[in-house]
Structure 1
Amino acid sequence: MQGLITLKQYCVAAAMAGAFVASPINAQEQEEDDVRPSPPSIGADVPVTYFGPPPSSVEPELIGPRQLLTAGQLDEDAGTITLPLYRGELKDNGENVWYIITDTTDAANAEALGINHAAKLSFAENCRAVRTARTRQDGTLVFDWGRVDFSPVRRVVPGNAEDPDQPAFPPSVFEPGAIGDETYSPLVKIENAGGHIYNAPMVSFNTEDDDLAPYCDGISESEEADARRILHDGVVSICPGDDGEPGTVTMDLVAGFSFAKPVLYMSTDANDPLPAALEGAIYAPGLRDVAVGSDDSLFSAIERLFTFTNGPENSVFVDDGQGERVAQVNPQRQGLSSAVLGQGGPLNVLGGIPTVATDYSPLWDLNVGEWTDEAIQKGYRSRLTEEFQILGFVERGFITGPGGQPYGSSGFIVNCPIVHRFL
């Protein structure tokens, strides 16, 4: 516990290590954040069309691509997924609650709906961490409490904004773009449907069909400011549906790794303003009541997510012809400093995901690492892609907590439902 306190003191910002400058994968960032594996035809004597289907098409646990959140339409090139949009109500006054469903403790319903099974969420039911709701006869989910204000403007200012020679991370300013009240959590227990817990992040609140309809085909540059005042920062497009057509919402995805497998996931909520601002997620105070630091132990609701404050960055040089600073892509790039500089997402490393492990949870306990001067001088600093590889560097003293503090939980949780694995 003492180590955790020290880590926060290091800098509520640094500790958080923005596991979260969760830069989504859009067209401009594809070159930096495209973690998709090369085709097997590289170095072979036959074209890729001669290869058979990936083993994962026969057994999900075997090597190969696998969409894990199958409730929606995945667009690998755009780095997005289009999911069903649900409309619920708040019990007090009937305010509209627009939400998505990504995970549940109900294994049978997870399979039926194409969402992730996360048994560990049953251990999250502490204080405010899980809201309650009931379904009406028409299927509408009525939430007992929890509001989100989407009107704030997300703002993140790099720490070196005034002096490029200073570290870019931690940021000097971090303000979330959406703030939940003290009772908001994305987790909800449906009391009259088996008492199972669902991961139901909000994407808009207290808005009507007419407010959302202009964004059915996406959000233009001129619409961006107005849209962000009513929508989750991860929303690419949203359509409430009409004439019997169901509503849909398209969400940005983030690239990362899980046990050396490149993956895509969503970033929807965080338990502190810093990761929420960096991730473009909702600040969800209710998630502060979920215990951290216990990983896969009994009664733990979380899994670990690993990030680095000072991972390898893209090299910057001066173009002799134009005199401009130009970024040269580094295939080892990773980490928060790089992300704050706008070089791409942090390429975080997740613990267990479905088909790879049995301990998946969408609630990730952020473990923040810092490469030591010795590791950097010896050339050990590189892109890491799996949990035990990272822990090995920690054990040998080449990675510590921020500022040389003991390595471990930062105390920050991010809600990041897994969507797809590439291998």
Structure 2
Amino acid sequence: MNTTLKTLAILAILPVFTVALSQSYLTDADALKAQGVGVASYGSANAGIVCGDRLCSEVSSKYVEKQMTEQKMEEKQMKDKAMMEEKHAMAYKMTQSVDAGSVLKLSRANVPATIPLHQGYHDGGNVYYIITDSSDQTHADTISKNQKWKVELAPLLKNAPAKALSKAYMFTNGISGDGVHKFQGEVFTSTPAQPDVYSALTSHVHVTWKDGATPRILNSEKAILDAEKKGELTLTPVQVVLNMPQIVWPDGQMMVKKDKTLADDTPYVGGQVLNIDTKEKTVTFIAHRGWGPDGRTIYYIVTDATPSGPAEMMGVTNAPRDANLIANSAAVDIYQFTNGIKGSGPLGFQAGIASGALGDENYSPMWRINVIGWKDPANAALLENISDINAYKNAGKIDISLARPMNSDHIVNCPFIDPFQ
């Protein structure tokens, strides 16, 4: 009897123990499920083990991958920061040990560049001019061959608006001479003596004598138009823009620098021309050294500018029509420095950096001037390319603004050249 009662009692309470054990097990399992598997367990060791709604091996590999990616990003940021700090430290060390200007001036920063002159006409008088750039490859090649001095291709010049151009007539036959096509010299419709209409950038009209006509020298636009009315020649507009700065014109010429001694610190003031020889048909400019967008060496001359203040200071032609390029793609950005490391730049600090150079699709001789100022000049670094400018701008170490001397749009005609050709 007692044995029977004990057996019945055990059978009665067994389900209670079973439920309790089941609940305890489920609670522990849920806790483990939520906890997952530590990063010390990965790979095949996690095969088939469930962490939440996926295999623990999946969770672990993604976690490790994320950790590695974050670590690489941190290492790159630390490396970039170290490089920038090193560059600052180097510049600071130079400024502390010696005069930074004497160390960081570029060698051969200012050199003479002799360029062939062409003879043309305006209103019956003689004009002497140079040809430095062409929007068209054919004209660039033809003129380069004829004058034995390289004319650079500047495709962007074709975008210049009509109000930024002057007109020139080019002869394709007739009297042999000094013109682009080896016939008489070009006829211009303006000179720097008429600053409101003059531009070194010229659109062109081809002048062709008809069969049976008697070719002769035509030295003014009026003479050309009169000959056309008589049926002696044809006029054909050409879709090409040439950079043809005038050096000598009937009422004047570009300023010739009095002190012709060139040094790495030769100032930009007082003229850009060293010599004009109309007999030998050459002009010698000062070629200034700077940096291209990728850090390569560039040389450029200065022929004209707007507004009048900077033009007069540099001793170049005042060309107000250049201002029509301020928002046009025919002009490109150049960056000059207003403080920081002393050097051979036009403002007495490091040399400037151009956003385009010879051979680039975005090369143009027409510069839109931007100025760079260091927020902390004592910690200025030497910048050599556009990438440097962007890096320091993004780091908040420099300010960049559009130059507006005399509260006016500022454009400078600075053809890039090879002064050693």
Determine if the TM-score, normalized by the shorter chain, exceeds 0.5: yes
TM-score, normalised to structure 1, is: 0.55
Does residue 109 of the first structure (1) align with residue 101 of the second (2)? no
Matching of residue 352 in structure 1 with residue 356 in structure 2: yes
CA contact (8 A) 1:187 1:200 kept: yes
How far apart in 1 are the matches of 2:243 and 2:304? 11
Cα distance change on mapping 1:335 and 1:105 into 2, 3 Å = closer
CA offset at residue 77 of structure 1?
Answer: 9.3
Q: Which has the higher contact order (CA 8 A, sep 6+)?
A: 1
Percent identity reads: 26
In the alignment, which of 409, 413, 416 is matched to residue 415 of structure 1?
Answer: 413
- What SS is found at the alignment partner of 2:309? helix
Amino acid in the other structure paired with 2:288: V
Contact 1:118 1:360 in 2 (8 A): yes
Residue 250, structure 1, aligned to residue 264, structure 2? no
* Residue ranges of structure 1 left out of the alignment (5+ in a row): 1-29, 37-75, 149-179, 223-231, 295-299, 314-332, 340-345, 402-406
| 2:417 partner SS | strand
In the superposition, the TM-score normalised over structure 2's length comes to 0.55
Residue by residue over 1:330-385, the C-alpha shift from the partner in whole angstroms, topping out at 9 and shown as x without a partner, is xxx3655526xxxxxx6211121123x22100001111111113xx35x2x12222
State the alpha-carbon separation in 2 of the partners of residues 88 and 221 from structure 1. 29
Q: Note the 1:288-367 alignment, pairs <5 A.
A: 288-292=323-327, 300-313=329-342, 333=343, 335=345, 337-338=347-348, 347-355=351-359, 357-367=360-370
From the two aligned structures, give the one with the greater helix fraction.
Answer: 2
SS state at 1:120 partner: helix
SS at match of 1:420: coil
CA 33–205 in structure 1, closer or farther in 2 if over 3 Å, else same: farther
User: Helix, strand or coil for the counterpart of 1:256?
Assistant: strand
Aligned to 2:231: none
| Aligned counterparts of 2:201 and 2:305: Cα–Cα separation in 1 | 12
**Which residue of 2 is the match for residue 197 of structure 1?**
241
User: Who is 1:371 aligned against?
Assistant: 374
Q: Is the 8 A contact 2:190 2:198 kept in 1?
A: yes
| Alpha-carbon distance between aligned partners in 1 of 2:199 and 2:283, rounded to the nearest angstrom | 20
Matched with 2:275 is 237
CA RMSD of aligned residues (A): 3.3
User: In 1, are the aligned partners of 2:135 and 2:242 still within 8 Å (CA)?
Assistant: yes
* CA 144–336 in structure 1, closer or farther in 2 if over 3 Å, else same: closer
1:291 Cα deviation from its structure 2 partner: 3.4
Which residue number corresponds to residue 37 of structure 2?
none
> Which of residues 191, 197, 201 in structure 2 aligns to 1:183?
197
Counterpart CA distance in 1 for 2:110 and 2:288 is: 11
Any unmatched runs of 5+ in structure 2? Answer: 1-100, 145-149, 176-183, 208-237, 261-269
CA contact 1:126–1:289 (8 Å) conserved in 2:
no
1:84 maps onto 2:116 in alignment: yes
- Alignment pair present for 1:140 and 2:172: no
CA distance in 1, matches of 2:202, 2:412: 16
Aligned mates of 1:421, 1:266 — CA distance in 2:
9
Q: C-alpha displacement at 1:126, in angstroms?
A: 3.1
SS at match of 2:418: strand
Aligned residues: 260
Deviation at 1:233, TM superposition (A): 2.8
Q: 1:247 to 1:384 in 2, by over 3 A?
A: same
Structure 1 residue 260 displacement after superposition: 1.1
For residues 63-104 of structure 1, what are the alpha-carbon distances to aligned partners after superposition, in whole Å with 9 as ceiling and x for unaligned?
xxxxxxxxxxxxx797111111112111xx312221111001
2:317 & 2:103 partners in 1: Cα distance?
25
